[in-house]
Structure 1
């Protein structure tokens, strides 16, 4: 049976398709369900609340921004599921609002009381003792006040630039002559959103950490109570928090690039000036203030979220970091497969038996050891690797640099287009180049998601190739969290395929077939269709 487009036509009914973005919302709803799960310990539920909001921020920065860009361009084409960009935005907001209402209600009515029961208090300023308030005001003057910059908005001073995901105050001030003016103060992102009162007030205070409690205040509350110091001689009529989300998706014209690294660097600089796609404001903010923000941010009321609660709850993750194991799930420790506990070196073990690792249940340590031993083994001649997201302070990078310094041939593809890791990857690409590593930045028009390592080693029988293939990144942190498979192998066909793929990535190749591997965009789709057709016949 030939899977022709004509044959498949009957399946192209929009009712047969899930909308990509509405489907993503359902995924984040599952994260919300974990946050609401009464079976989970308190701090784990707070962790999922943070993840829910962090996911949502990225969704607006990338997916919603793309839809709104289509609307601005007057695109009326429908997606595979039959929805126009306007309709998708409307349904996104319709489905999201009940989730927001539920999670904010849960935070206020369930989480806060449970935190209090466990001696973790997120306080209003009026709930603190005079001694604590005085200590916080001194802290404000010494540590916060010098960082703040009040920005006026009047004919001589244009509406200030507001950075992505930053929390700000919209402020109405009044001069002694009665004139009223609009101003903005940004809450510094370099400071924690929640301040530990017991850490700031160093000496013992009533209800302090001396009795095993933890007391926080929102930094915004402390700033708001001291706004008069930023506008001396003026009356603070009212001040309300707001937060914006910008379009941060990079639009890279790769076919016009002479230098991909330089092009991406320039695009990263432009990212902070992306269009505003969402404005979040406190419930109490008056209409005239909202209208001022909407007009100057060049958005509409359709981009507005009025929030009954604290803006940007992704920042509550710091509460999860408290040393309270009884309020968290038991820490999971991955196992190291028995084969890697033997005395032989890792190459002998892999050569004897291919090994499949299932992360995070199996430890990532054998993968790290594989790269480390390859960098230090005098018989290793070459290391080739693809890197997508390696994280900060990566030992993998350190071992690759060590290998190059030991005069081994090291070639690395660093994918510069890994979203939100572009700057980190540019940094690592340059560090590798400084050490003499052959660095490739990726292929034009494609993202290299394949995670591969090829080690070439001189042995008594001749040159031997070792391969590691993985669905997950070479990242020690995410390897403890995400479910992935990793394969160590010396299979001749697989090793030959991987060698040829690296030649394709670093050089020029028109190769169309491989022995065992399916390679996109070369033969993977074709192979999958063949396998599907085989299953239909059977």
Structure 2
């Protein structure tokens, strides 16, 4: 069989998602639709990693020498996927930062950073944080008595470096960004200015670590294996098999780690070690992580 006549299934899927990104780039599309396509691209890529990439990784780890229709082994496929994903992730982020975000500003929808807020706006959000966010945050520090915490799949997290001013000892801590709160916090009643929730939390970390110096914080996100594996010849009870697999999915191995461009090398090294991944599994993203949250903008009255 001439394998050169076949396309690689995974690369074809990424090419499809690239066409979704092309719709986000298309200035003929309504602006909020372009933001929606950016969100769809992000969600699609999450699912691709949770199922497609996870399946290839599992076959590689179990030693199954199954080649793709176009003749590629698991290692070659993963290398091809990772190279293409890095290029797509960068193009995706750049489309938002350079095209869609400025266009949103022109239409009066500004996604701003904490330093861009006026003192009055910051004061208002400080009260909001204390009343609504602070009570639901649970910072988890890592030390000999407390192992590295479990990081749930697709959750947004802050990796925090703190220091004891008396001993000078530095420690790593993790703060999970609540998923049941809107990602973009409205600064004013007109919904014209919004700030990412992780930035609001990042500016109030000193309240979570009293008596410690907050040295730095970095946003990161993990994707876990969510492939459902049911063996028909072994699993006679389909319901029990599905329950077992759904339980396993929550604790599936990490297949991708997303970090921002400003991540501290020591923090990245710690994440790679504790999450049991390699540097090849890391995707560096310019700007905001998890742009699937842009779907929130589609509910704006515009």
Structures share a fold, TM > 0.5? yes
Structure 2 SS opposite 1:198: coil
CA deviation profile, 1:55-79 (whole Å, cap 9, x unmatched): 0000000000111112212333322
CA deviation profile, 1:243-267 (whole Å, cap 9, x unmatched): 0000001112343335322331232
- State the distance in 2 between where 1:198 and 1:239 align: 26
In structure 2, the partner of 1:185 is 175
Of 146, 154, 166, 2:155 maps to 166
CA deviation profile, 1:110-142 (whole Å, cap 9, x unmatched): 111111111111111122222211111111111
How many residue pairs align between the two structures? 301
Q: How does 1:60-459 map to 2 (within 5 A)?
A: 60-177=49-166, 178-199=168-189, 209=190, 214-324=192-302
Higher RCO (CA 8 Å, separation ≥ 6 residues): 2
- Structure 1 residue 25: deviation in Å? 0.6
Given that 2:114 and 2:122 are in contact with CA atoms closer than 8 Å, whether structure 1 keeps it comes out as yes
CA deviation profile, 1:217-267 (whole Å, cap 9, x unmatched): 000000000000000011001100000000001112343335322331232
- Structure 1 residue 281: deviation in Å? 0.6
- State the distance in 2 between where 1:129 and 1:78 align: 57
Given that 2:255 and 2:277 are in contact with CA atoms closer than 8 Å, whether structure 1 keeps it comes out as yes
Which consecutive unaligned segments of at least 5 residues does structure 2 have?
Answer: none
In structure 2, the partner of 1:15 is 4
Structure 1 SS opposite 2:259: strand
TM-score normalised by length of structure 2: 0.96
In structure 2, the partner of 1:489 is none
Structure 2 SS opposite 1:96: helix
Higher Cα radius of gyration: 1
Which consecutive unaligned segments of at least 5 residues does structure 1 have?
Answer: 1-11, 200-208, 325-538
CA deviation profile, 1:398-448 (whole Å, cap 9, x unmatched): xxxxxxxxxxxxxxxxxxxxxxxxxxxxxxxxxxxxxxxxxxxxxxxxxxx
- State the distance in 1 between where 2:232 and 2:133 align: 43
TM-score normalised by length of structure 1: 0.55
